[in-house]
Structure 1
Amino acid sequence: MEAETIRFDENLETVAFEFAQEIPAGSDVVIYIEFDGIHNDQLAGFYRSSYSDNTGEKRHLVITQFQSTDCRRCFPSFDEPALKATFSSSLIVDRHLVALSNTAEISSVDIEVDGILKKHVTFQTTPKMSTYLVAYVVGELDFIETVVNAPLPTNSHKYPVRVYTIKGKAEHGKYALSLASKVLEFFSEYFDEPYSLNKCDLIAVPDFAAVSMENWGLITFRESEILFDKSSSVQAKQEIADTIAHELCHQWFGNIVTMMWWNDLWLNEAFATFLGWLAVDWLFPEWKVWTQFLSNNYSQALALDALRSSHPIDVQVNSPNEIGEIFDAICYHKGASILKMLYNFLGNKVFKDGVRSYIQEFKWKNTVGDDLWCHFSLASEIDISNLMYSWTRETGYPLVTVESECFDAFSATMTVKLSQSRFLSGGDLQEDEDQVLWWIPITVVTHLNPHTPLRHILVDKSAIITFPYSENFGAYWKLNYDATGIYRVKYPSEQVYKITDIVSNHPTTFSPGDRLIMVSDMFSLMTAGLESITTFLEMILALENEEDGIVLEQISQRLDVIKNACYSEPEITRNGINKLTLKIFSSKVAKVGFDFAENEAHLDSMKRTLIITKAFTAGDKRVATELCSRFRKFISGNTSALHPNIRPVAYSAFLSSSTPESAESDFQVLINLYNNPNTPAHEKEIILESFGAITTPAIINRILETLIFDPDFLHAQQDFFSPLFGLKRWNRDQHRIRPLLWEWLTRNWDRIYAGFTVGSGTIGVLLSVCLSGNMDPNFEAQVQGWINGDEIREEQLKLAERNIARALEGNRTAAKWILRERDNLAEWVSSI
């Protein structure tokens, strides 16, 4: 029977069919729906992606991106993660095109459609899966392949792994293919569960809003996240490894076992992040990824979660438009950090046993967070559900304060009283904000046990711990070894001075992870008003001779935060901050040089890149001159003169050195490089970001008002943000750039909003870029007036409420500590 009426609800994104005859509840019913649609250009649903081939001719492919709720853009469906189904798909395409889906092709038959010969491609029926994982790709594609035959578990099977690219780029997928085959073997053994499909395709997409997407058996990536060639940097090499490991982990954690609803998104994303890093550490132990994890994931999570506007990991989601906002550092990075904390507490074997039993019980099903904790409880015989409750259901994390210490020479022990409270980067913690008690695994290292931490558990508001100690020369003790726990530590002043002195005179006493977290903690305590900026800066100065590149990265990040917050402070203060940065980094440039050895250690290359970049941004004229010289040789055809690792900073150095007379011609040099068909996608992103270094107002205006809105100029819509990021990162006149970005956003809001998919998260990213860092005391009132000044705009901006709140709170926090520390900062930097 046919439906008598069809009703659409655009707000709920549903369609209702009404029939003349009642259909009894519980009946088995087959519904046939005829529908058609158009491939959109919004990077969501079943969309059209544009690219230029190696001759410069514009071509297209069509591809899907369904997460979170865009399967319904392609076909009517019960588009919720818990409503799993099997999918039998077929595609009718032009004969010369490649058609791909989640499963292997089982037939391809020539057919005639409107007098044109095409082919009808049919795919195997999928396993039971969620709609957001369904995927299709159609285009002119090449591929390379290998075969995986995982030795474990014993019931594993052989299957092909392929990397697909647009024509002419397949060879650049070799690194990714090698990684993918090894990572698939790693996860098959780790989960004790074979890969569940009979093929695994990874495809490089020219225009892709997400970085990557774990579609089952057909994983999609931005080209820059999977293709690697001689023009790629070491940073790109690591990002590709991280991204591939993350998405392949999802083939088990997320695809076989899926969260019940989006509030438990962290079950998918936090696990794929943590276990992805575990896989990369297995592949490349020399990369020291867990120290890098602290500088990146862990630090990002703690910075965001110290805001009042943060949210729990397990967060309520009420509408499709709210989902995009929770794909953030809380879901990914805080989630991964609490899993790392639990992993360190339980140990690898118990953790792995819990994961394996969880997958076996819930294979092909949906779960909630408590299901996972239950399996860790069974594996460890500890009530993990109770221990982890506050970590996932509450906002924030604790500050552990050392209230007192007492050394007993007779028993050779140190007794320390600890307390816990919520940490807020803005300070002024109110009583009603401090009602949560966290389960905190406390680790202690001393001069007696520098690398074998003693373990304690803090579960109450305060507690006393005792550990072996002696007060001989060089004695010390420190909490939170290698940041294995998620908390800040506040020591008494005399303990801070002792640690700073040891860092200055015997820096390797502490592990790189410990030195890194000291910098992070001290800076955060300063913003909260719990330490002075001079204490923080003295610690930075104590690390002047730091040689570990990952620790230097953390120092760089914190100095950048101060520099960015002080963009409108007097020039003498800003110059003083630059002088401190130069004191740490410029002296190292002569030591490391500008040339990269062919087989140089990965971390050495990353450190050299950091040192050169920071010396340039702090105003080292010799470094700027050398970078410009190398760029000119590079652009003249000597590609070896400018290593890929330092091309981003060299492009920016070249543009920032432009004079009013040379600005147009210099800018055109970069545009020509961008438009060159042989310039790889990752290089195009770098070039667009370097546009932000230009200081000529007319060119900046052309970039913002014309170029990034021009589809004939912008090779990929995904790159819309790159020049905006560049203006915030590279432009030396932030006093002008920050209000300019706000004015640009408000003036162009309607066409910006029309160009992006609602709920995709891109609007939130844009607002964060344009709102964060503006210290004008009237700015927040301007923002609120703009939001509330138009009912339609007010409704549009609801999908980015969290992003707006975070940006404005971050501005308030920075303004507050600057007001408090302004004189101290000015006095201290004047003595550099």
Structure 2
Amino acid sequence: MRLFRPTLLASALLFATGLAHAADAVPKGPLPRTVVPSLVKLELKLDPKQERFSGTTRIEAKVAEATDTIWMHGRDLKIAKAEAVLADGKRIALTGQEADVSGVLKFTAAEKIPAGNATIEIAFEAPFGELQGAYRVKPDGRDYVVTQMEPLGARGTFPGFDEPSFKQPWDITLIVPEGEGAFANSAEAKTESLGDGWKKVTFDRTEALPSYLIAFAVGPWDVQPGPDIAPNQWRDTPIKLRGIAAKDQGKKMTYSLANTPAIVTALEDYFGIPYPFDKLDNVAAPDFWAGAMENAGLIVYRDSLMFPDEKSAVGQRQGFWGVSAHELAHQWFGDLVTMEWWDDLWLNEAFATWMGNKITGQLQPQFHTDRGILEGGLGAMGADSLASTRRIHEPINDFTQIQSAFDGITYQKGGAVLAMFENYVGEEQFRDGVRNYLKKHARGNATSADLIAAVAAQSKEPQAVDAAFKSYIDQPGVPFLKIDLDCSGKTPALVLQQQRYLPIGSTASANQTWGIPLAVRYADGDQIREQKGIISGKQARFELTEAQSCPAWVMPNAHGAGYYRFALTPALQQSLSDAFAKLDEREQRVYADSVTSAYSAGAVTPSQLLAALPQFAGAEVRQTATAGMNNIGWMEEYLIDDEAQRAEFLASAAEIYRPRLQQLGYTLKDGESDDDRLLRTSLIGYFAGTLKDNAVRDEMNKAGRAVLGLDAGGKLNADAVSKDLRGIALSVAVEEGGKAAFDAAEKHFRGSQDAVLRSQLLGALGGTNDAKLAERARALVFEKDLLRRNEIFPVVFGQADEPAMRPALRQWVDTHFSDLEAKLAPAGAGLVNLYAAGMCSNEEAATLESKFAERMKNIEGGPLELKQSVEGIRLCAAAKDARKGQPLQFARK
């Protein structure tokens, strides 16, 4: 059953003619359009050293018809005074009250406000938030203010119309202490001294923006000038680029600032539209719950993403490029054109995921970002296989559902679906559709239907592409094709059966179909041919029209471009396995997924999966080489009870991957690729962690002890091991070194402001297997001014990996749940996963559901997080029951 969501036009007509909301009915979804803002003048007085701030909002608005009720948003605000000022200057008093836990604010007028123009003036005070809204950070003993408005932080910072479709210009003024820097979305217009230690900073009027893209920063920030982004064919004037970082940290932004102009220019070339705003500031936030946020003209990043250099770990360096390209793509997709409502969040995030990979791959081809978008799509299939999964274009009817939309379905599945349709429609045609969409809706709002129509119009079969695209975004699940080959007629054909992919124990219905842009490669004599076409319906026949003979093998997901899984008949499966070396790197990866997903669905036994792993391990591409690794860890934990059998099993698993590790070695080689460095890190982490390999652990222990200075008087030597391996080395050293190593790691953590090193040290502290030391690690969470709030999960999640540590961790979460949730908001829903780690029985699922149902009810993203955690535990239990007693045999050499 589909939930009904009225279109914007229908909503507008409803509001205009009948006022969809009764005066006392709280609008928990979109606000009524009785009052629509056209300009917001926001003035805030902020001192980072104080716990609260004050401000005034003046909202110029159009009133559709006479009303004595104005619905807005505001959460935990203290309203000092509110009035509606009419065009003739008459003032009507407004009385405000918070009408819903989501932050819906109801203003009741002393008399009816007539239709026409009016200005709503509100004076208020507010507390600083916790990693959302306007919040304070203190990384170095100094106080800073930074913001994160998406999704609902704006309503805790100022009263307003806090939803995406309310998009209008903003006049922002910040009153701050003398000596403090102040920055906002647009360029500074003027600064005036007010006396008594205060100054007023006024900024240029912004372009039309929704409230969730408003941003500012106040404090003793370093301002690092970047290179101007030079004029080009799309733009006559340069763009001013700056880096903004905590005191004395600005120089660390040299690499990121030097490489930002190339990303902006490449995006301008793709879109055919100049950068849409008047300047570009990159803020390196010392504490930030997300990776980054695309605020127009003032992008905020977690500081570690802005601080890499040429010698950084591969992951950190590639992280800058990928995240920066993602956020900069948002300046067009999300900022220039904004979704109308949160159900279309994928228009922002899926597009930026896809576009960020595309532009990074264009500028840094050695990163192989096309593999990243494929791996993201395959990873999303895990969540997409749940009965409780979301669809990409999911109706949002309650504020708790908005946070749930920031997930792998929106980002990775959405990005993979965009890549699939780009492949089908054609790269240039797809780009032309995107350009037309952006130009048509620039400075306004748009919907899924708008984008799909623009892309489909560029294809050779617009109606089929439109319908197929919508089948992917408007229903959940992973398409699954069962495939046979029929060579009995004149033209060989694939015989296809379509349904939804389901893992063992799923309660979802398999009875679904999609419009699938099928891409096939096959061997026809000494030729390899390729063919595309959209298939639909439960059964289909796909004729291989160019084939001159019965194909020797068929790859039903050519170049890994499609978001679907497949199962071949045994004979076809064997022929494809035999042709593994002839497949391209992406096809090898989706072939590996066809085997591992068949295992998860119960069609392949544990021994059959284990027998397939050596073929994958020998593949050139690291994502294929490591495919199936996680299944070994799961088998070891849930299918083996005998310790001798466990040791033998892990030793056999190690022999699959040891040749590759020996080939790579423990140390970096001159000129080796980033992929080799990343594969080395993955393998060493796997050997040291999951496989508990003594030889690898000994090497990492020596390296970790050298970093901690345990054999050198306790002096930190952060460069004693490559930065790619430092986190693993520290974790092993603390596990093996007991209290002395733990003490050293804690001392170095307390003395460091390096976000990457801090995270690695915290991970090592949290990964200890000593119960008393684990308790000490958890205690760090509540030590005043010690942890940044984005460091809370790193210090405790390691304890969830070890069965012996889990009971104490769960008790700690249970005892401190309210305090933890407040510190982590709006990411507090993640506490469910922390508590549930390792659970794999129906009894544990029921306990989790009972314990957290009430707790999650009003937490952003909480209800769905709980539902999916419970389902995951039940699926684990079903898989364990189905596999219990089945042989775990590796292929003989």
TM-score, structure 1 normalization: 0.90
What's the offset of the Cα at 1:692? Answer: 3.2
1:457 partner amino acid:
I
8 Å contact from structure 2 (residues 224, 242) kept in 1: yes
8 Å contact from structure 1 (residues 631, 654) kept in 2: yes
What's the offset of the Cα at 1:544? Answer: 4.2
Label 1:449 to 1:812 Cα distance change in 2 as closer, same or farther (>3 A): farther
Q: Which residue number in structure 1 is paired with residue 817 of structure 2?
A: 749
Any residues of structure 2 matched to 1:306-317 within 5 Å, and which? 306-317=385-396
How far apart are the structure 1 equivalents of 2:109 and 2:159? 18
Label 1:591 to 1:248 Cα distance change in 2 as closer, same or farther (>3 A): same
Deviations 1:748-778 (A, max 9, x none): 2222233343xx2x12222123214312442
8 Å contact from structure 2 (residues 553, 576) kept in 1: yes
Q: Which residue number in structure 2 is paired with residue 242 of structure 1?
A: 322
Q: Which residue number in structure 2 is paired with residue 398 of structure 1?
A: 479
Deviations 1:159-204 (A, max 9, x none): 1111111122222212211232111101111111111222100010
8 Å contact from structure 1 (residues 725, 769) kept in 2: yes
Structure scoring higher RCO (CA < 8 A, sep ≥ 6) equals 1
Q: Which residue number in structure 1 is paired with residue 10 of structure 2?
A: none
Label 1:421 to 1:433 Cα distance change in 2 as closer, same or farther (>3 A): closer
Q: Does 1:815 align with 2:877?
A: yes
8 Å contact from structure 1 (residues 544, 583) kept in 2: no
What's the offset of the Cα at 1:549? Answer: 2.0
What's the offset of the Cα at 1:643? Answer: 0.5
Q: Does 1:783 align with 2:858?
A: no
Label 1:563 to 1:283 Cα distance change in 2 as closer, same or farther (>3 A): farther
Q: Does 1:195 align with 2:275?
A: yes
Find the residue that maps to 1:7 and give its secondary structure: strand
- 2:829 pairs, out of 764, 772, 776, with 764
2:668 partner amino acid:
F
How far apart are the structure 1 equivalents of 2:525 and 2:426? 23
What's the offset of the Cα at 1:668? Answer: 0.8
Q: Which residue number in structure 1 is paired with residue 105 of structure 2?
A: 15
1:426 partner amino acid:
I
Q: Does 1:721 align with 2:799?
A: no
Q: Which residue number in structure 2 is paired with residue 587 of structure 1?
A: 659
How far apart are the structure 2 equivalents of 1:78 and 1:449? 64
Q: Which residue number in structure 1 is paired with residue 804 of structure 2?
A: 736
Q: Which residue number in structure 2 is paired with residue 463 of structure 1?
A: 540
How far apart are the structure 1 equivalents of 2:571 and 2:644? 31
- 1:28 pairs, out of 97, 113, 117, with 117
Q: Which residue number in structure 1 is paired with residue 519 of structure 2?
A: 442
> Number of matched residues?
793
How far apart are the structure 2 equivalents of 1:511 and 1:309? 34
How far apart are the structure 1 equivalents of 2:180 and 2:869? 45
What's the offset of the Cα at 1:799? Answer: 4.2
How far apart are the structure 2 equivalents of 1:197 and 1:435? 44
How far apart are the structure 2 equivalents of 1:698 and 1:448? 67
8 Å contact from structure 1 (residues 450, 510) kept in 2: no
Q: Which residue number in structure 2 is paired with residue 37 of structure 1?
A: 126
- 2:305 pairs, out of 225, 230, 245, with 225
Label 1:424 to 1:573 Cα distance change in 2 as closer, same or farther (>3 A): farther
- 2:775 pairs, out of 678, 698, 701, with 701
Give identity over the alignment, percent. Answer: 25
1:339 partner amino acid:
L
The answer for unaligned runs of 5 or more in structure 1 is 53-57
- 2:600 pairs, out of 527, 530, 536, with 527
How far apart are the structure 2 equivalents of 1:583 and 1:641? 29
The answer for unaligned runs of 5 or more in structure 2 is 1-90, 710-715
Q: Does 1:421 align with 2:493?
A: no
What's the offset of the Cα at 1:206? Answer: 0.7
8 Å contact from structure 2 (residues 611, 890) kept in 1: no
Any residues of structure 2 matched to 1:430-829 within 5 Å, and which? 433-446=510-523, 453-467=530-544, 475-503=552-580, 508-563=581-636, 565-566=638-639, 569-597=641-669, 599-617=671-689, 618-636=691-709, 639-658=718-737, 663-677=738-752, 679-704=753-778, 706-714=779-787, 716-729=788-801, 734-757=802-825, 760=826, 762-787=827-852, 793=855, 795-796=857-858, 799-826=861-888, 828-829=889-890
2:127 partner amino acid:
I
How far apart are the structure 1 equivalents of 2:874 and 2:809? 18
Deviations 1:226-277 (A, max 9, x none): 2114773101111111110110001000001000000110001000100010
Find the residue that maps to 1:380 and give its secondary structure: coil
Q: Which residue number in structure 1 is paired with residue 33 of structure 2?
A: none
Deviations 1:682-741 (A, max 9, x none): 12112211223311111112222x112223432x11110002332245xxxx33234443
What's the offset of the Cα at 1:360? Answer: 0.5
What's the offset of the Cα at 1:575? Answer: 3.1
8 Å contact from structure 1 (residues 426, 813) kept in 2: yes
Deviations 1:622-652 (A, max 9, x none): 2111112222333336554301000111011
Find the residue that maps to 1:421 and give its secondary structure: strand
Find the residue that maps to 2:194 and give its secondary structure: strand
How far apart are the structure 2 equivalents of 1:185 and 1:331? 26
Find the residue that maps to 1:645 and give its secondary structure: coil
Any residues of structure 2 matched to 1:53-92 within 5 Å, and which? 58-92=141-175
How far apart are the structure 2 equivalents of 1:172 and 1:476? 53
Q: Which residue number in structure 2 is paired with residue 386 of structure 1?
A: 467
How far apart are the structure 2 equivalents of 1:799 and 1:641? 42
Bigger mean CA offset, 413-422 vs 552-561: 552-561
How far apart are the structure 1 equivalents of 2:525 and 2:229? 48
Any residues of structure 2 matched to 1:341-420 within 5 Å, and which? 341-381=420-460, 382-383=462-463, 384-402=465-483, 404-407=484-487, 414-420=492-498
What's the offset of the Cα at 1:330? Answer: 0.6
Find the residue that maps to 2:804 and give its secondary structure: helix
8 Å contact from structure 1 (residues 573, 829) kept in 2: no
TM-score, structure 2 normalization: 0.84
What's the offset of the Cα at 1:444? Answer: 2.5
Q: Which residue number in structure 2 is paired with residue 268 of structure 1?
A: 348
Find the residue that maps to 2:862 and give its secondary structure: helix
Find the residue that maps to 1:695 and give its secondary structure: coil
How far apart are the structure 2 equivalents of 1:429 and 1:293? 29
What's the offset of the Cα at 1:109? Answer: 1.5
8 Å contact from structure 2 (residues 499, 538) kept in 1: yes
Deviations 1:650-677 (A, max 9, x none): 011112223xxxx111101111221123
Q: Which residue number in structure 1 is paired with residue 31 of structure 2?
A: none
How far apart are the structure 2 equivalents of 1:59 and 1:812? 48
2:692 partner amino acid:
G
Q: Which residue number in structure 1 is paired with residue 339 of structure 2?
A: 259
Deviations 1:457-502 (A, max 9, x none): 3212112223356889x94222102321111111112333333344
How far apart are the structure 2 equivalents of 1:455 and 1:786? 50
Label 1:775 to 1:571 Cα distance change in 2 as closer, same or farther (>3 A): farther
Label 1:386 to 1:470 Cα distance change in 2 as closer, same or farther (>3 A): closer
Label 1:562 to 1:365 Cα distance change in 2 as closer, same or farther (>3 A): farther
Label 1:269 to 1:750 Cα distance change in 2 as closer, same or farther (>3 A): same
Deviations 1:49-77 (A, max 9, x none): 1212xxxxx11101111111121211111
Label 1:169 to 1:562 Cα distance change in 2 as closer, same or farther (>3 A): farther
Find the residue that maps to 2:165 and give its secondary structure: coil
1:667 partner amino acid:
F
